[in-house]
Structure 1
């Protein structure tokens, strides 16, 4: 981990940063128009700070805007740490596919073949690892209860999944599912013999050189961190520290993940590439990489969602 941020993140990455990004090209009219839109949006919605990365025409551009904290304003830059919420699900999926590549995990194997004490909601015991990852498990996904901060937190959370209502038959309907992705994280723990956090660091973060990425339960000890804010009654942004806290058992779904725009561009470049990291090392086969971009096939969508509605 780079600099003082090591005190607060569980990641211990020491790989050199890939040289992927270039300076924001102020003389390009399209980039300049995007720049203006970002500034207008920040003003309209009282957003104190943002970091933006763009991959365009084979080049990566990034820039920081505003400040990390309105009560102690420091400029946002391309190394500023942000909570990434559900972007963390893509790191969970990438870790799972690395295990598939290593022939340690089979997507169409039942979950209970990996997690012997797993009990699914009624009618869903046949659920597979693939169905966890592609949001077709069918049970209620909006379950955010806290099962502790120790290494057994995820196991306890997955134990409790049996109590969730089954909304649709397994494998038939797409419905965004945080609980199912957390269950996939537990599968990763059992297959690797590591905690979810350590496993994903070893499988994804370290090989890709994402040296400003990891997990943080609190802002304490973190250097160059963008704090969460809310909009006050006067329409201005105010720091909202409570919004930082998410239970550890939700880490596979996003939970305590933090990273920088620079690292996210590194991750995006990997997914747009051929399975090699920026240093040229093979991380994943092209077949496994493309498998993460495959469609679900026939089926419907539960409710009204902004994603997963059949738009390709």
Structure 2
């Protein structure tokens, strides 16, 4: 692999997946190789440059985690002390810790309830919606991906530093690295717009703006370039030597699996989870994925091996493009691990009746039901979202009905005591069968 190979590879893949614009940055054998292609908005320019900022979505979370871990390193917070000591308004903090929040094991709901964001005041929102009674699972028992947890982490940062979350990320992480993020409100030449691709219909529609509420900024508000992501990831490489705000003890801890005692891991997202970072395979690869309104961004790095791969795209087909990119890079000798939950699925089987029903995580309801011609659909609310293909071991694949060429792998999970199919897990979110919700404090095992 050399620098001359990347532009043609990136251009080929963006054409195949109808992505209007993308950046690719690779750190390999001590060099950083980059390529860009396309335009910010389909048919309306400007062209993508190395400095263009793509909305990162959930790749924002490791930046939030990095600030929180700097506070741990400074002795301002203890990873394993109940968070109520530092955040009295966080009622669930009587039993949840920062380690659990950063590793998605605090038992908090997956998402913010609709129409509760209000004016974006995190302190008021956490006091009202993060009580102990609001927990979906007992802390420390299961992995369930939680945007709510990173609202709590953002509030913790604000309360301890006296800065806004945005100011703290700049001061603690970005400024020391010489990285400049695009503010949400910036509509200037650096900020890239998203696109909705319907591959079945051959349509690509620009999306006017990101709709992330201010409350959720610590979850997904950053907009950076692929080169910026490589710069951040280099802080976590064992032999890179890049100086920055995080010491080696902190970076090593953030990349260490925290899920040894949980009974449900991050199936469908990763093979393990550190403090802010997802973990992949057996070789120690870390990273994160992020989606916004019509954007899809991806980051992987090998702390010991020194390889980093970052891809930013401005279309909802970016996930499929990322999978194809990794295959091509492996063939060229640039290999990083990823999560492959669809391996070994075997042959499809008819969906059993005991898989059907409603599974909930707080106010998010996944309805599994039969559709026409024997098909099985997953619906969100009253809207069919994906078509399921089931397999013998209770795993399934789900093809999005939007035509985005996106396929997810999930699973149904039995309750060990009753042997009943009690849980649904997809995209790392764990949902309980509705008639088994009870007090909200049950757990697997």
**The two structures share one fold, judged by TM-score above 0.5:** yes
Counterpart of 1:25?
Answer: 3
Equivalent of 1:187 in 156, 162, 165: 156
Match of 1:80 in 2: 52
Kept in 1: contact 2:10–2:36 (CA 8 A)? no
What secondary structure, in the 3-state scheme, does the structure 2 residue paired with 1:173 have?
coil
Which ranges in structure 2 are unaligned for 5 or more consecutive residues?
Answer: 273-279, 283-445
**Are residue 245 (structure 1) and residue 211 (structure 2) matched?**
yes
CA distance in 2, matches of 1:80, 1:196: 23
Matched residues in 2 for 1:275 and 1:181: separation? 29
Cα distance change of structure 1 residues 311 and 266 upon mapping to structure 2, 3 Å threshold: closer
* Alignment partners' CA distance in 1, 2:105 and 2:161: 24
Q: How many pairs align?
A: 270
The structural deviation recorded for 1:44 is 2.6
The match for 1:263 among 212, 218, 228 is 228
User: Separation in 2 of the partners of 1:259 and 1:40?
Assistant: 23
Tell me which residue corresponds to 1:202.
171
Instruction: Classify 1:286/1:305 alpha carbon distance in 2 versus 1 (closer, same or farther; 3 Å).
Output: same
Find out whether 1:68 has 2:36 as its counterpart.
no
Please tell me whether the aligned partners of residues 108 and 136 of structure 2 are also in contact (alpha carbons under 8 angstroms): yes
Say whether residues 1:284 and 2:262 are aligned partners: no
Higher helix share: 1
Whether the 8 Å CA contact 2:265–2:271 is kept in 1: the answer is no
Unaligned runs of 5+ in 1: 1-23, 27-31
| Alpha-carbon offset, residue 236 of structure 1 | 3.2
Distance 2:211 2:133 in 1: 23
Shift of 1:38: 3.3
CA distance in 1, matches of 2:53, 2:11: 20
Q: Distance in 2 between matches of 1:142 and 1:102?
A: 30
**1:204 shift after superposition:** 0.8
Return the offset for 1:214.
4.5
- Aligned-partner SS, 2:228: helix
Separation in structure 2 between the aligned mates of residue 99 and residue 41 of structure 1, nearest angstrom: 41
Q: CA deviation at 1:56?
A: 0.8
Cα contact 2:89–2:126 (8 A) shared by 1 = no
- Flag the structure with larger Rg: 2
Greater RCO, 1 or 2 (C-alpha within 8 Å, sep 6+): 1
Alignment RMSD (CA, Å): 2.5
Q: What SS does structure 2 have at the residue aligned with 1:300?
A: coil
Task: Tell me if 1:178 matches 2:147.
Answer: yes
User: Quick check: which one's strand share is greater?
Assistant: 2
C-alpha distance in structure 2 between counterparts of 1:147 and 1:275, whole Å: 41
SS in 2 for 1:215: coil
Cα gap change, 1:238 to 1:249, in 2 (>3 Å) = same
Q: Does 1:107 align with 2:75?
A: no
Rounded to whole Å, the distance in 1 between the matches of 2:133 and 2:23 is 37
Question: Deviations 1:171-212 (Å, cap 9, x if unpaired)?
Answer: 11111111112111111111111111111111111111112x
Q: Aligned with 1:205: secondary structure? A: helix
C-alpha spacing 1:163/1:288, structure 2 compared with 1 (3 Å): closer
Which residue in the other structure is 1:19 paired with? none
Matches within 5 A, 1:4-23: none
Distance in structure 2 (CA, Å) of the matches to 1:193 and 1:130: 22
